[in-house]
Amino acid sequence: MGVTLRLYDTSTRSVRDFEPVRPGEVSVYLCGATVQAPPHVGHIRSGLAFDILRRWLEASGYRVTFIRNVTDIDDKILQRGADEGVPFWQVAMRNERAFTSAYDVLGCLPPTYEPRATGHVPEMVDLMQRLIDSGHAYAAGGDVYFDVRSFPEYGALSGQRLDDMQPAADSDADVKRDPRDFALWKGTKPGSAEATAHQGEPSWQTPWGPGRPGWHLECSAMASRYLGPVFDIHGGGMDLLFPHHENEIAQSQAAGDTFARYWMHNAWVTTSGEKMSKSLGNSLLVSEVVQRVRPVELRYYLGSAHYRSMLEFSDEAMAEAAAAYRRIEGFLRRACEELGDAPDSSAVRPSAFDAALDDDLGVPQALAVVHDTVRSGNAALAAGDLVSARDARDAVAAMTSVLWLNPYEAPWSAQADDGAARRALAPLVEVVLEQRAAARERKDFGVADALRDGLAGSGILVEDTPSGPRWSLAEED
């Protein structure tokens, strides 16, 4: 396999030829969610960006091992458990499942393995022991700290000088050798809420006393557990560059591992120019947004910006993206009707499409090739040129397959935009829904239910929502 893929490597601040450690295989570690709340669209962008990377690597013939962790212990998870009066692991499990279903609904492949931090304390203790033995870490006051002055390369990834850095914000400074030393392990403080609290408070025994892991330590321990001391790509959101990834490098390299050879960072989703935050309420939860657009349209929208570009989220931009996706879908449907058969998604892709993805995952340029092909395919259909129309249709199917946007593939095929049938039905269904509303108004619930059941019997499902009833066509089995 010759080198064709080039990726932007944050650690060199340049686009580099991608050459894996082992020919034909790629190992990827992606920092996964801290499961303190269900995901909004900003959280899920990272999973989606790296799903596109993984699918492109696989389409290029690589065998990919993809590890994405779950941070299931963290101050905010503990706090939420305390606020709700439930064990931390109940909060973590609930939100881990919300993340899993959001990844699933957007068509992100499940990771090869998804390690949880709490299941890897022995690996973390082992890593801390190596760091203490080699003089890069020390125990103090029940905690264990990384000695940043012992690692001259500290700051290289994020391009900072140690002397310019702020103190690490993760614990009291008075036991540290340097205020910028960061916690590998947080000791259980005698008399603290953690020491006395209810069932489920986390504490593990170590040679340095009981406590729980620091966030940075978890990823170093889990990455090497599953990918070994050297692996190909480490990914995550741009907001993790410092201190999280800087600290991961310090821990792993000080312990003697080579660690990641390429560092990839995706940009944020912004609203009104600012990083999306949890204070924005529920309207941007993935589970809510996929009530407003089809999941495949959300995948198209979030994937359509280059992964290193900020994506300013708005319902208007999402609607435009959905319309662009429906142009692709509409062409494929018309072509299939005209040609009388199904598209061949194993057809040869236009070389410009492959070249765009090989150039640091240029999805916007790749989608431009898709839309150009749709336009020429529509022109071919209009001219009755079925040979060209077939070529265009199959090329579009092959390209959208790679990006996991092919409307003829599961799961999207079950969510097809049945536009024409829906438009014809809409006025009829509206009449029935108005009659039902009138029946409810006069408290004639028998009639209201009968109208609803009548629709259901015709395969039209009615759901009552805060903004009124919404109907959909039942899926055929």
Residue numbers at the binding site for Zn ion (CB under 5 A): 31, 219
Choose between 146 and 408: whose C-beta lies nearer to Zn ion: 146
Listed as own residue / partner, the contacts of 147-151 with beta carbons closer than 8 Å and 24 or more positions apart are 147/177, 147/178, 147/181, 148/178, 148/180, 148/181, 148/182, 148/250, 149/177, 149/178, 150/254, 151/250, 151/253, 151/254
Nearest one of 400, 291, 279 to 335, comparing CA atoms: 400
Residues 381, 338 contacting (CB under 8 angstroms) = yes
- How many other C-beta atoms are found inside a 10 Å radius of the C-beta of residue 352? 13
Secondary element (H or E) of residue 240: none
Work out how close the CB of 166 gets to Zn ion at its nearest, in angstroms, rounded to a whole number: 20
CB of 31 to Zn ion, least distance (A): 3
> What is the chain's alpha carbon radius of gyration, rounded to the nearest angstrom?
26
Are 11 and 253 in contact by the 8 Å Cβ rule? The answer is: no
Of 227 and 389, the one with the shorter C-beta distance to Zn ion is 227
Residue with Cβ nearer Zn ion (229 or 411): 229
Closer CB to Zn ion, 55 or 68, in the complex = 68
Q: How far is the CB of 424 from Zn ion (least distance, A)?
A: 51
**Looking at beta carbons only, is 108 or 357 nearer to Zn ion?**
108
Full strand arrangement of the beta sheet holding 143-146? 137-140, 143-146, 182-187, 211-213
What minimum distance in Å lies between the beta carbon of 232 and Zn ion? 16
Contact 213, 170 (CB under 8 A): no
Nearer to Zn ion, 5 or 219 (CB): 219
Could you tell me how many helices (H) and strands (E) the chain has, helices first?
Answer: 15, 15
User: Which C-beta is closer to Zn ion: that of 223 or that of 284?
Assistant: 223
The nearest distance, CB 121 to Zn ion, in angstroms, is 16
Q: In this complex, which beta carbon is closest to Zn ion, that of residue 31 or of residue 298?
A: 31
**CB 219 to Zn ion: min, Å:** 3
User: Which residue in 468, 477, 307, 309 sits closest to 403, CA to CA?
Assistant: 307
Q: How far is the CB of 215 from Zn ion (least distance, A)?
A: 7
Could you tell me the sign of the dihedral formed by the alpha carbons of 148, 149, 151, 157, in that order?
A: positive
**DSSP assignments along 125-160, one per residue:** HHHHHHHHHTTSEEEETTEEEE-GGG-TTTTTTTT-
d(CA 396, CA 392): 6
Q: Which is nearer to Zn ion, 148 or 219 (CB)?
A: 219
Scored b (16 or more CB within 10 A) or e, 357-394 reads bbbbbbbeebbebbeebbebbbebbeeeeeeebbbbbb
In the complex, minimum distance from the CB of residue 115 to Zn ion, in angstroms, rounded to a whole number: 11
User: What's the CA gap between 5 and 17, in Å, rounded?
Assistant: 6
> Which residue, 31 or 356, has its beta carbon nearer to Zn ion?
31
CA 269, 108, 224: angle at the middle one, nearest 5?
Answer: 90
